[in-house]
Amino acid sequence: MYAIIESGGKQRRVSPGALVALERIEGEAGNQVELSKVLLVADGDQVKIGNPYVQGARVMSEIIRQGRGSKITVFKFKRRKRYRRTQGHRQEQTTVRITEIRV
């Protein structure tokens, strides 16, 4: 069984027991989180597709840790103008363990 969820403007395929890094979700480690934006639920040959979301479908998860992603470098450059700007960024992330998919 798996589901496709939307969180933080991105879509992820999840299944029970999977660890998933999502955009920051409020809460502390150990808290239960319900993800309600479920786009698709598949269980063997049975597939439910939402329009845009599957009615009544929920993905239950547990927050494992709050942290930040790897650093990316943003570099702007204009040739012949002596213009260079370097900036770094680290995105806030929440790691969750999927515990259950409810339909």
Tens digits of residue pLDDT in 38-72: 999 999 999 999 999 999 999 999 999 999 999 99
Q: What pLDDT is recorded for position 103?
A: 87
Structural domains counted in the chain? 1
Which tokens go with 15?
Answer: 């299944």
For residues 64 and 61, give the distance between their C-alpha atoms in angstroms, rounded to a whole number: 9
Question: If residue 86 lies in a helix (H) or strand (E), which one and from where to where?
Answer: strand 83-89
Range of the domain at 89: 2-102
Q: Which residue type does 97 have?
A: R
Task: Look up the pTM and report it.
Answer: 0.84
Rounded Cα distance between 24 and 39, Å, is 20
Band of residue 7 on the pLDDT scale cut at 50, 70, 90? very high
Mean pLDDT in the chain? 96
